[in-house]
Structure formats: C-alpha cells, structure tokens
Amino acid sequence: MLSFLTLLVAATAVYAAPTNGTTDVLDIRSGTPSGTGTSNGYYYSWWTDGAGDATYTNGAAGQYSLTWSGGNGNLVGGKGWNPGTSSRVINYSGTYQPNGNSYLSVYGWTRNSLIEYYVVESYGSYNPSSAASLKGSVTCNGASYDILSTWRTNAPSIDGTATFQQFWSVRNPKKAPGGSISGTVDTACHFNAWANLGLNLGSEHNYQIVATEGYFSSGSSTITVS
Ligand SMILES: *[C@@H]1O[C@H](CO)[C@@H](O)[C@H](O)[C@H]1NC(C)=O
Ligand SMILES: *[C@@H]1O[C@H](CO)[C@@H](O)[C@H](O)[C@H]1NC(C)=O
C-alpha cells in the first residue's frame, strides 16, 4: 500500500495533469493503475489521472499497447530506457489512432539541469507547439522539425514541484496518425540542434521513452520501441 501510494504521488508529480489536487489520487479507479518498472528488458512508465478509461499493456520486448476512451482526463505511457542517453537512435513502429488531443513522442527528463523534453513524431487534433516559443528548426532523419521551448513555473516534475524548461522538437509536417506508423529518432541530432540554440539538456539523464499521451480524448496505440 505504501509503495502504491508513493507511486501514485510520484506519478502525479511527474505529469502536469489538469487536475484538482489530491482528489485525483483518490479517483484513480478506471482501467490500469499507474506504474513504472521494467518489462522484458525495457523501462516503462504508465500514468493516468484516472478520469478516463484507459488500459495499458506491456507486450513482448519493446512493445506496449494503450487504449483509452471517455474523452476525459490525462494519461501517458510508453517504453524505453532509464536512464536515457544523448546518443540513442530510437526506432518505433506500430499503429497510432488518436481521436482528439494526443501525442506520440520520444519523451524524457534530465537533471542538472532539470529539463523535460519531447520529440513529437505525430499528434492528434492539437499541435503541441501552439503553446511554446519557436526557436528554430532542424532536419533529422530526413524530416523537418520545429524547435520550441517554454518555461514551466512551479510545475510538477520528477523532482516534485519545480521551475524548469521544456524543450520540444515537433515534426513538421507530423507523421500521419490514424493507422500504421513507424520512424527513427536520432536523439543526438535533436539534442545538438537544441544546444546550438542555447537549449542545453542536463548532464544526468532520467528516463527516455516513446510515449503515447492522451488528453481529454480517446484512441489506441500499439507501439514497439527498439
Ligand atoms: C475540485 O473538484 C471538486 C469535486 O469534484 C469540485 O467541486 C471543485 O470545484 C474542483 N476544484 C477545482 C479548482 O477545479
Ligand atoms: C533502427 O532502424 C534502422 C533503420 O531501419 C536500423 O538500421 C537499425 O538497426 C534499427 N535499430 C534498432 C535498435 O532496431
């Protein structure tokens, strides 16, 4: 029970859920409970605020599946590594079928400095770069990405409430959602481009996953990470 509660508090701290304090912890009752760990050699992180119905399933090797419905709440899950690195070339393939606001991204954190980062490969109805400042662009793995950053002030993080930057690469145009999807993300290409714009990740990597996120939406995703 203690570890479960600790897990929920930790998970709540990591993701900036559109929530209502501790009420949400008590509301986590639909679908798969939040959790992190290792599955078949890959690190996974799954978090839901419990407002929507969501089922997260770890598959073989780097595969995971996520289905969500109800048009409510915030959830994010995926597989990858902990710690991440600044040089990993990440492949992903599968299906991604969002209905509404959702992202499919390489997602991670660093410490020293504390940074939350996204390389967004595809998204649903909402372009996540809408809310951030455009810093430049980069071509990686044959595709163009907008580079953006934003500050989060007194926001939830892997180290509790903190003020930190988010760095973003958002593929432009996005990979088409709605069916089969696959790609390669050379993280060094993005991280070097960010650094050239003064956006320096921290020296200590925390987790680095290929995440599917849903926000007041529905959808399904089955992704294999390698
Ligand atoms: C928090 O949730 C309670 C119960 O659902 C609701 O009455 C209250 O208005 C909410 N507060 C905020 C700030 O959304
Ligand atoms: C990633 O994909 C590339 C290109 O298809 C391939 O050469 C490489 O071996 C793959 N890496 C992994 C870890 O699957």
* CATH number, position 137: 2.60.120.180
Residue with tokens 């009420």: 23
Report CA 128 to chain centroid distance, whole Å. Answer: 12
**Quick one: which of 108, 96, 87 has its CA closest to 64?**
96
- 164 belongs to a structural domain: yes
Q: Give the model's pLDDT for residue 197.
A: 98
Residue 103 in domain: yes
Q: Largest Cα–Cα distance of the chain, in whole Å?
A: 48
Residue 90 counted as domain residue: yes
Q: β-pairing, 74-81 with 162-171?
A: unpaired
Full pLDDT tens readout for the chain, 226 residues: 223 333 333 333 344 444 434 433 334 445 788 899 999 999 999 988 888 899 999 999 999 999 999 999 889 999 999 999 999 999 999 999 999 999 999 999 999 999 999 999 999 999 988 888 999 999 999 999 999 999 999 987 889 889 999 999 999 999 999 999 999 999 999 999 999 999 999 999 999 999 999 999 999 999 999 9
What local confidence, expressed as pLDDT, does residue 13 receive?
37
In a domain, 1, yes or no: no
Pocket of ligand 2, candidates 63, 81, 91: which has the most ligand atoms within 8 Å of its Cβ, to mutate?
Answer: 91
Range of the domain at 64: 6-225
Distance from residue 19's CA to the centre of ligand 1 (Å):
9
* pLDDT for the residue numbered 30: 55
158 DSSP assignment:
B
Ligand nearest to the CA of 184: 2
Picking from 66, 57, 76, 63, the residue whose alpha carbon sits closest to that of residue 116 is: 76
Task: Please give the pLDDT value at position 50.
Answer: 83
Q: 29 lies in a domain?
A: yes
Query: Catalytic annotation on 204?
Result: no
Could you say which ligand is closest to the alpha carbon of residue 22?
Answer: 1
154 lines ligand 1 (CB under 6 A): no
The pLDDT value recorded for residue 5 is: 33
Cβ(192)–Cβ(108) under 8 Å?
no
What integer pLDDT is reported at residue 69 of this predicted model? 94
| pLDDT given for residue 174 in this prediction | 98
Q: Annotated catalytic, 116?
A: yes
Q: What gap in Å lies between CA 185 and CA 198, rounded to an integer?
A: 21
Counting the structural domains of the chain, the total is: 1
Extended beta strands in 40-193, E state: 42-48, 53-58, 63-69, 74-81, 89-99, 102-111, 115-123, 133-140, 143-155, 162-171, 179-186
23 close to ligand 1 (CB < 6 Angstrom):
yes
Question: What is the predicted pLDDT for the residue at 158?
Answer: 86
> Is the CB of 180 inside a 6 Å radius of any atom of ligand 1?
no
